[in-house]
Amino acid sequence: MTDPNGLIRPGRPAPDFSLPATPDGQHTGPGEYRGRPVVLAFYPADWSPVCGDQMALYQAAMPEFDRYRAAVLGISVDSIWSHRAFAENQGIAFPLLADFEPKGEVARAYGAYTPRGEAARALVVLDPDGAVAWSHLSPPDVNPGADGILDALERLGTDRQVVAG
Amino acid sequence: MTTPLQVTARLRTPVTESDHVRGAVDAPVTVVEYGDFQCQYCGAAYPNLHDLLRQREGTVRLVFRHFPIANVHPYAESAAEAAEAAGARGRFWEMHDWLYEHQDQLDPVHLSLGVEQLGLPPEEIGAEVERQAYADRVRRDFVGGIRSGVNGTPTLFVNDVRHDGGYALPDLLAAVDAAADT
């Protein structure tokens, strides 16, 4: 990354957090998925066309993430109500977390907050112990796809097999 | 391992005999399309790809692979499987064309009429689609696309390099001509 204070780098422990995931007040965060890889997909906003594509794509790709037992969490500064409508519209079943109050706190902790007041389009893959295994920052208007995430999950699986063997 | 702005721009799943190919087998340029039959952008690209094949006959061939985003397009998966069912009877491209020419008629009733219109057996194909007989094939295309960096539809690869330009005919002609010259 060009910004020295930019996106969190591999090898660092991932800051734990808990954010609202549903309108009835349920919270979730990476700590709840310890023992599994976690994919954090920060994105600028619900409803912007690229985001729609990106989150919808991750829903369609869910069987592939499942093969690595990975949990996928989408995160933006939108409210939980916006997330709910967006998820219904796009058929998204994985949690979309509201980094809404204090605004962008989690995105800031990961170095994924922009001066526009939105999350950057950033991907962070955590290993099962909660350390950052891979991170990637995209331009806001570029959908990064899922291949980088799947490559990172595959490397995690291989590394662990090597350690276990 | 940090990956600053890594762009995966290459097709990782080579074209094989099991692919659906249209155009000259020995064409120097291969365009691989990852498409969703219910996607309006794919529908918009469809006539342009048709014209491309016509205007560059012998130079370019087209491969179609499935990339249904079923959570957004409820009929995309069944349409893909209907195309495969037709393909199993040697009629993939006719079904493919019908689907893109009738994108507002992909519900089971109209789809069945379309199958019949093509002279294919609607009950048999309906039953195959119903029991998802071709789900594995469609999934294999989708997963190969995901691993190649397909991030939406349509995504085209021109001689294995992702085409990040537009889908208007002049854009497609330019991309194919550039690939033919290299």
ipTM computed for the complex: 0.89
User: Mean pLDDT score of chain B, rounded to an integer?
Assistant: 94
- Residue A143: phi, psi to the nearest 5? -75, 115
Q: How far apart are CA A67 and CA B77, in angstroms?
A: 21
* Residue that the structure tokens 């209907």 belong to: B82
Size of interface A-B (CB pairs under 8 A): 66
Residue A71: half-sphere exposure toward Cβ, Cα within 13 Å: 20
Q: How far apart are CA B106 and CA B139, in angstroms?
A: 19
Q: Is the pLDDT of residue B5 over 70?
A: no
Q: How far apart are CA A79 and CA A74, in angstroms?
A: 13
Pairwise CB contact (< 8 Å): A60 & B148:
no
Question: Which residue of chain A has the CA closest to B71?
Answer: A91
pLDDT of B3 reads: 44
- Active-site hit among A19, A51, A75, A120: A51
Cβ–Cβ contact B72 with A under 8 A: yes
Q: How far apart are CA A140 and CA A63, in angstroms?
A: 26
Cβ–Cβ contact B132 with A under 8 A: no
Query: Which among A61, A91, A93 has the least Cβ separation from residue B72?
Result: A91
Pairwise CB contact (< 8 Å): A136 & B6:
yes
pLDDT of B9 reads: 76
Element counts in chain A: helices (H) and strands (E): 5, 7
Q: What percent of chain B has pLDDT over 70?
A: 96
According to DSSP, residue A82 is labeled: H
pLDDT of A25 reads: 83
Tell me how far the alpha carbon of residue B85 is from its chain's centroid.
Answer: 15
CB A154 within 8 A of CB A68: yes
Pairwise CB contact (< 8 Å): A64 & B3:
no
Torsion of CA B168, A53, A102, A4, to 10 degrees: -60
Q: How far apart are CA B9 and CA A79, in angstroms?
A: 34
More confident residue, B136 or B9: B136
Residues of chain A with pLDDT under 50: 1-4, 164-165
Q: What is the 3-state secondary structure (H, E, C) of B56-124?
A: CCCCEEEEEEECCCCCCCCCHHHHHHHHHHHHHCCCHHHHHHHHHHCCCCCCHHHHHHHHHHCCCCHHH
**One-letter identity of residue A149:** I
pLDDT of B4 reads: 45
**One-letter identity of residue A34:** R
pLDDT of A1 reads: 37
pLDDT of B167 reads: 95
Least confident of A64-78, B7-21, B109-123: B7-21
CB B149 within 8 A of CB A145: yes
CB B102 within 8 A of CB B114: yes
Q: Is the pLDDT of residue B144 over 60?
A: yes
Q: How far is A76 from chain B (nearest CA, A)?
A: 19
Mean pLDDT value of segment B88-101: 98
Q: How far apart are CA B108 and CA A133, in angstroms?
A: 45
Using DSSP bridges, classify how beta strands A71-76 and A96-98 pair: parallel, antiparallel or unpaired. Answer: parallel
- Residue A104: phi, psi to the nearest 5? 70, 15
B39-80 per-position pLDDT tens digit? 999 999 999 999 999 999 999 999 999 999 999 999 999 999
Q: Please, which residues bridge with residue A98 across strands?
A: A76
Cβ–Cβ contact B68 with A under 8 A: yes
Mean pLDDT value of segment B25-40: 96
b or e along B98-133 (b: 16 or more beta carbons within 10 Å of the residue's beta carbon)? bbbebbeebeeeebbebbeebebebeebbebbeeee
Known active-site residue A51: yes
pLDDT of A4 reads: 47
Sign of CA pseudo-dihedral B79, A47, A18, A68 = positive
Mean pLDDT value of segment B158-170: 95
Mean pLDDT value of segment B149-158: 94
pLDDT of A48 reads: 78
Q: Which of B18, B34, B51, B85 has its CA nearest to residue B173?
A: B51
* Residue that the structure tokens 């069912």 belong to: B85
Residue B89: half-sphere exposure toward Cβ, Cα within 13 Å: 17
pLDDT of B124 reads: 98
Cβ–Cβ contact B149 with A under 8 A: yes
Cα–Cα separations (whole angstroms), residue B42 to B11, B68, B95, B133, B145: 19, 11, 15, 24, 15
Pairwise CB contact (< 8 Å): A143 & B149:
no
Q: Which of B60, B67, B63 has its CA nearest to residue B24?
A: B60
Pairwise CB contact (< 8 Å): A10 & B150:
no
More confident residue, B166 or A50: B166
Residues on A contacting B at a C-beta cutoff of 8 Å: 1-2, 9-10, 52-54, 56-57, 59-61, 63-64, 90-93, 134-139, 143-148, 150, 155
Cβ–Cβ contact B3 with A under 8 A: yes
